[in-house]
Amino acid sequence: MELNLLRLFFFIACFCPTIMVEGLVRRYKFDVVMKNTSRLCSSKPIVTVNGKSPGPTLYAREDDTVLIRVVNHVKYNVSIHWHGIRQLRTGWADGPAYITQCPIRPGHNYLYNFTITGQRGTLLWHAHILWLRATVHGAIVILPKIGVPYPFPKPHKEVVVVLGEWWKSDVEAVINEAIKSGLAPNVSDAHTINGHPGPLSKCSSQGFKLSVEVGKTYMLRIINAALNEELFFKIAGHQLTVVEVDATYVKPFKTDTIVIAPGQTTNVLISANQGSGKYMVIASPFMDAPIAVDNTTATATLHYSGTLATSSTSFVSSPPKNATPVANKFVDSLRSLNSQKYPAKVPLSVDQSLFFTIGLGVNPCPSCKAGNGSRVVADINNVTFVMPTTALLQAHFFNIKGVFTTDFPGSPLVVFNYTGKQPTNLQTVSGTKLYRLPYNATVQLILQDTGMISPENHPIHLHGFNFFVVGKGIGNFDSKNDPNKFNLVDPVERNTISVPSGGWVAIRFRADNPGVWFLHCHLEVHTTWGLKMAFLVDNGKGPNQSLLPPPKDLPKC
């Protein structure tokens, strides 16, 4: 009887528009601690959350408020980013160090406080300072509001699958060495699936086991938490039905291989329709440029209940690492669900038309012996971003002068054949330059790869927004003809997009979130080298259109 009354109340609350339905408050405590691990051919202390890597999965529902107290017990400065959470007006909780907050110093703590609005699906959290995200990362699972079903048949079970990269040596030593030399850092020693390289690896570990029962459907929430590598993912003998990426629903389609860049998430359904046996699950690198990668394949096992432990595993081979057609086939199949309930709100007109070249460069470095007196850098529109020592959002809110300028160029200052023969001068300019956007402006941004040093596929991530991927092509963007081919009806909506090697993508978004928002390559090596910038979005004039004031415990630099 009481239960029925409760249901009735819920029914009224949910369907009466005058009653605000608020979510729950979810509380988490993240203790950042060193943990000794003997995994993967090396025994060393790594930085973890609560002693685990991948760390805890953060569960919440749409409309919930999430409070995470992050306590720093390690010797490094720490900050945590909730990758893909919109953070409407709460940039203070976004997490990138020196962009929206000063880092949490050793012995200090900070309460991240945000509400999840208009989002449901899989995202990830990760450290956003130094290279700590190599081991400091985990899943965010946002369930739909109570009573709201998935737009696809409810799976029997859901499983988080975190893909990662592992270095035998300390990752901070790896990147510090590279910065000193001016050259590229060492590639990782293994890929991992839920922390394990798997039974095929030389550093034998049992590997992750995905237990299934015949006839049931499972949803995998796949996350690429690797630092520097895009990955292929597939399962022997099973098709994957893609239903969501970056916490937005897509038109379901079947594929045997997905490609997933660092920072991206993909939900797939699998039907356990093979009767019995063990089936190999693999994650292997995708790299279609002449650039070194970790060529190891991580493996896991899909295991039907009732299968003998001694039975052999059905094998599946990884695509060649330069399998561009395999990657394209997957990427080109992604479309927004664009249903009545989940419409694709693509900006149809453009207030701000931006063109950013992204790529590498070479700058002088007298102390770089290994690099012959020069160092590899990276840039957007030839600007290598310099990290400030005061957080940009604070400088903006409190009007602290001299931290940044707002002269980031909206298009390249020097026009050249971006994907042709590389220019002789590869030098970039350095600065902490932001691009200012009026509140609610609709933005079209062309991201154009360059052939400087080498063309390369760059997964670009925008904080604070989702964007629609309205176009993509190879070569130089043609501003006359390419826009005619844009998809303004059901383009995929995401927060991280791979710019194809030697090509471009066009994205659109509405600048409806005031604050300072980072845009960067999600290959950590390129972020380190300067492939990053930030947008400064002004407050609007209406109520609820201004950045909220900072919390009292906001860390100080």
CB nearer to ligand C2O: give 134 or 212: 134
Interaction between residue 459 and ligand C2O (CB under 6 A):
no
Strand order in 217-224's β-sheet? 190-193, 157-166, 217-224, 265-271, 240-245, 248-255
CB of 82 to ligand C2O, least distance (A): 9
For ligand C2O, which stretch binds (CB under 6 A), given 154-162, 289-297, 394-402, 514-522? 514-522
CB of 192 to ligand C2O, least distance (A): 18
- How far apart CA 109 and CA 173 sit, in angstroms, is 25
Interaction between residue 263 and ligand C2O (CB under 6 A):
yes
CB nearer to ligand C2O: give 126 or 508: 126
CB of 116 to ligand C2O, least distance (A): 17
CB nearer to ligand C2O: give 126 or 221: 126
Residue 103 to residues 208, 212, 228, Cα–Cα distance (Å)? 34, 42, 23
CB nearer to ligand C2O: give 522 or 526: 522
Report the residue from 54, 55, 96, 164 that binds ligand C2O according to the rule CB under 6 A.
Answer: 96
| Rounded CA Rg of the chain | 23
For ligand C2O, which stretch binds (CB under 6 A), given 168-176, 270-278, 401-409, 515-523? 515-523
- How far apart CA 260 and CA 240 sit, in angstroms, is 14
CB of 393 to ligand C2O, least distance (A): 14
Interaction between residue 433 and ligand C2O (CB under 6 A):
no
Residue 427 to residues 21, 125, 414, 430, Cα–Cα distance (Å)? 54, 34, 12, 10
CA-closest candidate to residue 54, choices 256, 222, 255, 236: 222
**Number of Cα atoms under 13 Å in the Cβ half of residue 373:** 1
CB nearer to ligand C2O: give 83 or 238: 83
Interaction between residue 518 and ligand C2O (CB under 6 A):
yes
In sequence order, what are the residues at sequence separation of 6 or more whose Cβ sits closer than 8 angstroms to the Cβ of residue 4? Answer: none
- How far apart CA 91 and CA 418 sit, in angstroms, is 34
Interaction between residue 83 and ligand C2O (CB under 6 A):
yes
Report the residue from 196, 396, 508, 520 that binds ligand C2O according to the rule CB under 6 A.
Answer: 520
CB of 263 to ligand C2O, least distance (A): 4
Interaction between residue 463 and ligand C2O (CB under 6 A):
yes
Strand order in 515-521's β-sheet? 434-437, 532-537, 515-521, 458-462, 496-499
Interaction between residue 81 and ligand C2O (CB under 6 A):
yes
Residue 361 to residues 36, 180, 184, 424, 450, Cα–Cα distance (Å)? 38, 17, 12, 11, 10
Report the residue from 120, 303, 396, 461 that binds ligand C2O according to the rule CB under 6 A.
Answer: 461
Q: Kind of pairing, strands 109-115 and 65-72?
A: antiparallel
CB nearer to ligand C2O: give 81 or 196: 81
Q: Tell me the site size for ligand C2O, rule CB under 6 A.
A: 11
For ligand C2O, which stretch binds (CB under 6 A), given 177-185, 270-278, 374-382, 518-526? 518-526
* Residue of closest CB approach to ligand C2O: 83
CB of 385 to ligand C2O, least distance (A): 12
CB of 384 to ligand C2O, least distance (A): 17
For ligand C2O, which stretch binds (CB under 6 A), given 53-61, 240-248, 387-395, 516-524? 516-524
CB of 523 to ligand C2O, least distance (A): 11
CB nearer to ligand C2O: give 126 or 303: 126
What would the DSSP string read from start to end of 64-109? Answer: -EEEEEEEE-SSS-B-EEEET---TT-GGGT--BTTTBPPBPTT-E
Interaction between residue 138 and ligand C2O (CB under 6 A):
no
Beta bridge partner(s), residue 384:
430
For ligand C2O, which stretch binds (CB under 6 A), given 151-159, 265-273, 353-361, 517-525? 517-525
Report the residue from 128, 234, 238, 375 that binds ligand C2O according to the rule CB under 6 A.
Answer: 128
CB of 518 to ligand C2O, least distance (A): 5
Beta bridge partner(s), residue 279:
302, 314
- How far apart CA 211 and CA 197 sit, in angstroms, is 18
Q: Which residue intervals of 366-522 are DSSP H helices?
A: 392-397
In sequence order, what are the residues at sequence separation of 6 or more whose Cβ sits closer than 8 angstroms to the Cβ of residue 89? Answer: 513, 514, 515, 544, 546, 547, 548
SS3 402: coil
CA-closest candidate to residue 140, choices 200, 84, 101, 86: 84
Residues that bind ligand C2O (CB under 6 A): 81, 83, 96, 126, 128, 263, 461, 463, 518, 520, 522
